[in-house]
Every structure is written in C-alpha cells, then in structure tokens.
C-alpha cells in the first residue's frame, strides 16, 4: 500500500526538511511526506526522543530520515541544519517551517522577554529558516510555512502577540513568493485552527465550542494540505495563505 501511495503522489526522490518536526503538526507532516516518497530531515529543540520516534516512523515507510537539533531562534543552527541535510541527502526540494511557540497573555501581562521570544521564533526564526532553505533549494522547490488562523481571526483574549506573529508570516510569504518566483519555487502558508497537539492541550477544550464543526483538527489533516503544496500539482499556487480551521474564520 505504501508503494501505491508513493507512486501516485509524485514525491518519490524528493528531499524535505521539516523545521520543528519532532511532534504535533510537524511530525505529522514529516510522516506524510515520507509516505508519499520523500526522504525527510526533522529538526527539534528539546525532545530528542520524540524526534527519534518521528525518524522511526519515516523509516517504517521505506524512506530515510534524519533528526538534527536546531533552535529556530539560532541563525547558525538553522543554516547548519540545512547544510547537514544537503550533505546527507545530496539536495533539498521541500522546506516546511513549522517551528513556533504559543504564549498567551493579556496586553498588560506580556513581558518584554515573552514578546521577544515569540518574535524571535515565530517571525524572525521563520524568515531565517526560509532564507537558509531557499539558498539550497532546487529549482521548482517548495516552501511551506505553518501559521495560524489567528492571523485572520483573534477570537479570545490573550492572543494579541501570537496573532500578530502569525499575521506577519502571512504577509512575509507574499513577498518571499515574489522573490523566489523566478526560480520556480513556490511559497505558501497554512493557517490551521485549533488542532490537537501538545501545544494546545491546555486550552483546546475551551476553544472547541467556537468551532462550527464542533471538533478540533487532527495533525494528519494539516499534513494532507502540506503534502498537496509539496506536490507538482500545486505548482501554480504561490504567496497564498490557506486556512483550515473547521469554519472558525468564516
């Protein structure tokens, strides 16, 4: 069955890196890309055992996986992860930028340290990951960022800074898509709504009633959209932000 998926979906022979790929949406994306034929690097910061599990799942599909420790707030680590991927696999075709953090707080409560941390990882880190990957991507490559539907819908108190960072990513993607269009590289942004992951565990129940479909998303559903944007058939889409949130932003 795995071979049928690989042959039909067109990612066989492709090399991908998933920044923040050890768990949650990133891990689901890494597994899906592997099922569709890609060899995949995943980066992680503080969960080496989860990264190893993801690599194991990649290898279970018959593809090759690689885990690299790299903090998205560290420009040197980001560049090194891309370089190691190219050295290991010989090229880079797909970059998924999933690394990010969620810190909630009313405007009076957000510390300068928390503000800087979210900006460093959710905005600066995304830009640096795209920049590092773009320098090594093959012609016609793919860049896919994982943003949030809060870029278009801030539905609860305490999300102002997080929403701001995700809105920045949506605008960033538009400009970078133009920069890279001459090389046939597409750059698109996925904006998930509430999705069941470690990061959302503490507040997902409170948000669920706000979702028209009355359920949270599954990481594999987001990964399916990642796979579409990675494939050849999506080649005429670039600079777009695609919201997948059970109807919250309607």
What are the residue numbers of the active site? 162
Can you tell me the distance from the alpha carbon of 213 to that of 73, in angstroms, rounded to the nearest whole number? 35
Q: How far is CA 217 from CA 145, 177, 196, 224, 248, in A?
A: 17, 27, 6, 12, 11
Radius of gyration of the chain (CA): 17
């Amino acid at each position: 069955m795995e071979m049928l998926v690989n042959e039909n979906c067109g990612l066989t022979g492709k090399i991908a890196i998933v920044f923040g790929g050890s768990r949650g949406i990133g891990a689901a994306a890494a597994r899906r890309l592997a099922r569709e034929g890609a060899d995949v690097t995943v980066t992680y910061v503080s969960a080496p055992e989860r990264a190893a599990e993801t690599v194991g799942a990649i290898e279970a599909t018959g593809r090759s996986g690689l885990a690299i420790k790299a903090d998205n707030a560290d420009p040197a680590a980001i560049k090194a992860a891309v370089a190691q991927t190219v050295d290991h696999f010989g090229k880079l075709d797909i970059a998924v930028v999933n690394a990010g953090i969620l810190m909630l707080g009313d405007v009076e409560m957000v510390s300068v340290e928390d503000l800087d941390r979210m900006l460093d990882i959710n905005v600066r880190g995304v830009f640096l990951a795209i920049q590092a990957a773009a320098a090594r991507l093959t012609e016609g490559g793919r860049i896919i960022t994982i943003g949030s539907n809060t870029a278009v819908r801030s539905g609860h108190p305490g999300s102002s800074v997080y929403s701001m960072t995700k809105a920045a990513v949506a605008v960033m993607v538009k400009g970078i898509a133009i920069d890279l269009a001459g090389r046939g590289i597409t750059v698109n942004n996925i904006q998930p709504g509430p999705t069941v992951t470690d990061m959302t565990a503490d507040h997902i129940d409170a948000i669920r009633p706000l979702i028209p479909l009355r359920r949270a998303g599954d990481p594999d559903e987001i990964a399916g959209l990642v796979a579409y944007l990675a494939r050849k058939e999506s080649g005429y889409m670039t600079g777009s932000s695609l919201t997948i949130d059970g109807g919250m932003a309607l």
